Amino acid sequence: MFLMGACGIAYEYTLSKIASDILGNSAHQWAIVIAIMLFCMGLGAEIQKYIVDRQVVSMLAGSQIVLAILGGYGAFALLYVFSAYPSHFVLVKYLLVSAVGVLVGFEIPLLTRLNEDFSKDVKSNLARILKMDYLGALLGALIWVFVLLRKFTMIEAGLLLALTTLLSALILIESFPEKLGRVRKWMLTALVMVTALIGVAWKQGTNWTQTAEQRLYKDKIIFSKTTRYQHVVLTQSHQGNLSCFINGHLQFNSVDEHMYHEHLVHPALQIAPRRDRILILGGGDGLALREILKYEDVETVTLVDLDPAMTDLARDNPYLQKLNQNSLNSPKVTTLKNEVLKDTSQKRVQIENSRGIQTGQTGELPEVYIFNMDAAQFLAQAPGRYDIIIVDFPDPNAPELANLYSQHFYGFLKKKLSADGIFVQQSTSPYHAKEAFLCIGRTMESAGLTAVPYHDNVPSFGEWGWWIGGPANLYTPKKVKSLLQSVPSLTDLTEYLTPELIKTALYFGKNQLSTEETAVNTLTNPCIHRYYLDAWKAY
């Protein structure tokens, strides 16, 4: 019961994670998957009453073997169906979740019936079985969170759970041979065969996954990795163009990413009274940093990206190195490895070289340093203020990302700005996701910031928008617009952006910024997520 309880909850988590990775909207997927599994566990408990006593062991062992097949190969099946037959994905997902739930639902009642031979008292029997189930569930949850999620892909996690399920079936078969009789040898044969199938899946898993995943992208996949936080894919076209996807969403294309990043960086750096200290939130690909390093008068840049795998990829991958012009391999870059965020005003810090190997030496505070941590936590803990803050988060397509567009977050951001500092944020499409775009501006204003919108067409994304501004007690929309309309020549800094384009970007079409909505995005009311999902449904 201890092993079965541990695997049961881990199967719930694994299927929920796979569904959210494929479809997004993680809170919705987790809630629905776990609710359906619990319901089907109840069905399994109801069905088991039709199993006669002499078949309890054989049915329980058999259900564990079938559960191992479904759990081990389920992730492959979901990925394949989503890539080959996307219209059937939801049906297959719920059939798989339901089947796993029914089989897990067999476990407690059948083991309770089996344990009646050893514990005649109903109270003691239930206490023993449920105690071990709950203890197993606790251990299973901890192992899933701190081991499987961090060290293995969800494909590998499913296969490891399958092997553990087969172990529980083996223990059951060997513990009660007299109750199985001649069926025992068939059970052992099935167990060996399924174990072999799991071994084949472990060996071929990478190839199977890549084959299925390639169906989802028109260009060749040259890199694919599921990190602790996200699934990252790089593709390359026949023309050599590089695209980056996170959880299936396009992040940039090398053909036009410079248009996006020049809009993100240069207007803010041009109108800020000072650009001594700059903070980048997100931007682990090093592309915004590439633009900032063009300014010789910048003294320090801090880049905060949650996922160390992303900054490592931008630093080490030759395709990204070429695109970001080795911005993360510059001698000016230092990665700070602190268990607790320390005062970055200190002049001597432990440093690492560009390959992440500790040098054992100390040096002057670097011009660029990187933290891999949550942006909101960084803003809450970091000492000092910044002359410019550049926010380059993914769109608010998940509840956890919606929190990074909240009034609470912008309150922290305002405190980190110097008295006359400038901030800028990428803010999704003002055309395709108009209400989400406008909600970002309202939320910024509710936190005491002045925010001015601007936009341009980036071919890979279509119409795209940004908000730029500063503390409301110093800047008015009129003043920010005036500064942007006075930007001098950018000849030596940009490939695309010009002062004339910046002026043009401030103008929107008739009624393009009009709305009847008044809600701001908060931690308790993440309305921007709803706006975003409603807007992109048609696409």
> Which 3 state secondary structure label does DSSP give 92?
helix
Residue type, 94: Y
User: What tokens does 392 get?
Assistant: 């380059």
Query: Both ends of the chain: CA-CA distance in Å?
Result: 46
Structural domain total, the chain: 3
Residue 368, CB-side half-sphere exposure with 13 Å CA sphere: 23
CB-based contacts of 525, cutoff 8 Å, min separation 6: 519
Last-in-domain residue among 195, 214, 233? 214
Residues with catalytic roles: 392
Q: 236 with 342, same domain?
A: no
Residue 63 pLDDT class (50, 70, 90 cuts): very high
Residue 344 pLDDT class (50, 70, 90 cuts): very low
Contact 110, 56 (CB under 8 A): yes
407 φ, ψ (degrees, to nearest 5): -60, -40
Looking at residue 354, its pLDDT comes to: 35
pTM recorded for the entire structure: 0.83
For residues 417-422, average pLDDT = 96
Cite the beta strand spans of 336-461 per DSSP E: 349-352, 358-363, 368-371, 386-392, 417-426, 449-458
| Bigger pLDDT: 150 vs 356 | 150
| CATH code where residue 166 lies | 1.20.1250
Q: 239 with 259, same domain?
A: no
Residue 153 pLDDT class (50, 70, 90 cuts): confident
Domain enclosing residue 30, as ranges: 2-214
pLDDT beyond 70 at 339 = no
Q: 94 with 132, same domain?
A: yes
Cite the beta strand spans of 46-97 per DSSP E: none
In angstroms, rounded to a whole number, what is the distance separating the alpha carbons of residues 243 and 222?
10
Q: 70 with 135, same domain?
A: yes
In angstroms, rounded to a whole number, what is the distance separating the alpha carbons of residues 392 and 440?
13
In angstroms, rounded to a whole number, what is the distance separating the alpha carbons of residues 61 and 80?
29
Mean per-residue pLDDT of the chain:
90
What is the tens place of the pLDDT at every residue in 20-39? 878 766 778 889 999 999 99
User: What tokens does 60 get?
Assistant: 């329980």
Q: 43 with 19, same domain?
A: yes
Element (H, E) at 300: strand 300-304
Looking at residue 338, its pLDDT comes to: 52
10 Å Cβ neighbour count for 402?
26
In angstroms, rounded to a whole number, what is the distance separating the alpha carbons of residues 112 and 291?
65
> Which 3 state secondary structure label does DSSP give 103?
helix
As a dihedral over the C-alpha atoms of residue 448, residue 452, residue 457, residue 460, rounded to 10 degrees, the angle is: -10
Looking at residue 249, its pLDDT comes to: 87
Looking at residue 358, its pLDDT comes to: 35
Q: 170 with 229, same domain?
A: no
Q: 325 with 400, same domain?
A: yes
For residues 438-451, average pLDDT = 97
Q: 201 with 234, same domain?
A: no
Find where tokens 């898993």 sit: 205
In angstroms, rounded to a whole number, what is the distance separating the alpha carbons of residues 104 and 37?
9
Looking at residue 364, its pLDDT comes to: 39
Runs of H (alpha helix) within 115-176: 122-143, 149-151, 154-175
For residues 371-382, average pLDDT = 91
> Which 3 state secondary structure label does DSSP give 32?
helix
In angstroms, rounded to a whole number, what is the distance separating the alpha carbons of residues 401 and 281?
13
pLDDT beyond 70 at 150 = yes
Looking at residue 341, its pLDDT comes to: 58
Q: 394 with 497, same domain?
A: yes
Q: 179 with 192, same domain?
A: yes
| CATH code where residue 260 lies | 3.40.50.150
What is the tens place of the pLDDT at every residue in 383-396? 899 999 999 999 99
Q: 337 with 234, same domain?
A: no
Q: 17 with 142, same domain?
A: yes
